């Protein structure tokens, strides 16, 4: 796109793709790992 070249399309334009930066994935995983969550919920009555 930056080189202004045509983009190749597949499946007659019916295919969609999404691109994610690996830095964003790593930031998300680290944020979840840093969360302080209880090991179990004692309010559930079984």
SS3 track for 17-39: CCCCCHHHHHHHHHHHHCCCCCC
Residue 45 pLDDT = 63
pLDDT in tens, the chain (46 residues): 788 998 877 778 787 777 889 999 999 999 988 888 777 766 766 5
- Does residue 33 belong to any structural domain of this protein? yes
Residue 44 falls inside a structural domain: no
Report the domain count for the chain.
1
Q: Residue 13 has what pLDDT?
A: 74
Question: Is 19 within a domain?
Answer: yes
**Whole domain around residue 15: which residue ranges?**
1-37
Q: Residue 29 corresponds to which tokens in the numbers above? A: 């995983």
């Amino acid at each position: 796109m930056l080189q202004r070249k045509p983009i190749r399309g597949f499946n007659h334009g019916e295919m969609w793709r999404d691109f994610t930066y690996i830095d964003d994935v790593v930031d998300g995983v680290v944020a979840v790992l840093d969360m302080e969550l209880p090991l179990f919920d004692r309010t559930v009555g079984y």
